[in-house]
Amino acid sequence: MRTITIRTTEREQLADITEAVREVIHKSGVTDGVLHLWCMHTTCALTVNEGADPDVADDVVAFLARMVPRRSGFRHAEGNSDSHIKTSLFGPGLTLLIDGGQPVLGTWQHVFLAEWDGPRTRSVAWRVLPAP
């Protein structure tokens, strides 16, 4: 299994991993195909969203903090139930198309690790499948 290692700096953040994804594709040598990414943790997730304006990522984090507050009377003893719920809302995996050796992303789209229980060192497994 191959992994990307990401070190987050905040308890909750969208960490832009677009360049790491581009590097994975480059290392794979595949110019056309599919990249599967899978987050190896239950308190962070993966998503694609706007990366040009950092306010978007901050707005997403702030909205999720209001939607699923940290202290809401959850029963989970570790005190991070909000992180598990936020991860479930986003999901642990992404599939991206590869065309011409690049991820197929819209003009403003970036790939993010959605950290909900950091700061931590996170692992994202990946596999590239070439087009037939």
Q: How many CA atoms lie within 13 A of 87 on its CB side?
A: 20
* DSSP symbol at 81: H
C-alpha torsion 128→37→6→111, nearest 10: 100
Q: SS3 for 105?
A: coil
Number of domains in the chain: 1
* CATH number where 89 lies: 2.60.120.460
- Residue 83: count of CB within 10 angstroms of its CB: 25
Q: What is the pLDDT of residue 77?
A: 63
Give the tens place of pLDDT for each residue, 29-85.
999 999 999 999 999 999 999 999 999 999 999 999 999 987 777 777 677 888 999
Q: How far apart are CA 113 and CA 123, in angstroms?
A: 10
Please report the pLDDT score of residue 28 as a whole number. Answer: 96
Q: What is the pLDDT of residue 72?
A: 72
Boundaries of domain holding 31 = 2-130
User: What pTM, to 2 d.p., does this model score?
Assistant: 0.94
Residue 61 confidence (pLDDT): 98
